[in-house]
Every structure is written in structure tokens, then in C-alpha cells.
Amino acid sequence: MRTLQERFGKITTFIFDVDGVMTDGSVNALESGEQFRTFNIRDGYAIERAVHSGYRVAVLSAGNQVGVRKRLEFLKIKDIFMGGPTEQKLHAYLGYLNREQINEAEVLYMGDDIPDFQILSRPDLLSACPADAADEIRAVCDYVSPVAGGRGAVRDLIEQVMKAQNKWLSWLTTDEPFEIKNER
């Protein structure tokens, strides 16, 4: 049986749920009907580093809020699957792997609740969850982050993988230019 560090070393693809993983699971309902979420900026930084370092990053969520999609697009995530029925998450996941010809042993999926159970319990997948995930989810995951969802669990996971592959701070030793984005 390979160690967790060895398995982290094989990861090429991160797939994340949104609510409870990238956010703390809270929904703020406005009078207008909009339901917004709050994301952790450090999670966003880690996602940008992963994308820049050549990892595939995908999101699979039953939710379909425009603001969430815009945040994910801002982070340069290209594979965004939102709005499908909760019961169809496994089908969407398998379809993505098949279409992109991704070996499941190279995938790390992070989810937090029962709708993620069918994916997280797959034997070839490296499964992860935040510290505050549902009991049933923590029981089947290979890695339980010490950090809660929406509070840096995504950052923790990406950092663990990139450190195992000696990629986390590798950009500090290059002459990569720093780019300031004008968001007006």
C-alpha cells in the first residue's frame, strides 16, 4: 500500500465541490433572491498556483449561482460543471474523466457531504474532505484536512500535493514577473 505522500506525488488533477469545501457552506439570501457565498482568498491563491503549475483544476457542484461561476472563472478554472442534479455528480465526474482521458489514480477530489459520497468512496481515487465534513464523508476519505471548508481546506490540500511534488515554492527561485491586475 502506497503512503499518502506517495499518492500526493502522483496527482495531476484536482476536483472540488463548492459549498462546504470552497465556502463554509453558508448561504446569504438577499431580498433580490440572490444567494451569495464567501470564498477564502488563500484558497484562491493556491488554485491559481496549481493552474499556473500545470495541474488540471475542475469544479463539480449542483449549485449554479452566477457569482460563484464568475469567481471560479476569475481563478482561471476552465472545467466548471455546475447546476446538474445532485444525484448526477458521479455521472458528471466519470464523464469528465472519460472525456479528458484522465487516470483516476491521478485525481484528488475534495467533497464534504453525502452528495459527494459515491465519488469519494471510489477505490482508485485519492479522496479528501475538510475537517468539518459530514461524519460519513470523513470515514471514507484518504485525507481529512485539519482545516474547515471555506477556511483554507483547499489551500491545505493543494499545498500538500505541491510540496510532495516539490512545486509549492518553486516559483520563488525563478525570475517570473509579478503581474498586477486592474480589476476595474
Binding-site residues from annotation:
17, 19, 112
Q: Report the C-alpha gap between 143 and 176 in whole angstroms.
A: 32
Q: Which residues are annotated as a binding site for Mg(2+)?
A: 17, 112
Query: Phi/psi of residue 106, each to 5°?
Result: -100, 10
Whether 62 and 86 have beta carbons less than 8 Å apart is answered as yes
Q: Let me know if 157 is exposed, middle or buried by CB neighbors in 10 A (0-12, 13-18, 19+).
A: buried
What burial letters (b/e) apply to 3-42, b meaning 16+ CB within 10 Å? eeeebbebbebbbbbbbbbbbbbeeeeeeeeeeebebbeb
Strand, coil or helix: what is 24? coil
What are 4's three cell numbers? 499518502
Q: Which residues are annotated as a binding site for substrate?
A: 19
Q: Fill in the amino acid letter for 15.
A: I
Residue 174 burial (CB count, 10 A): 7
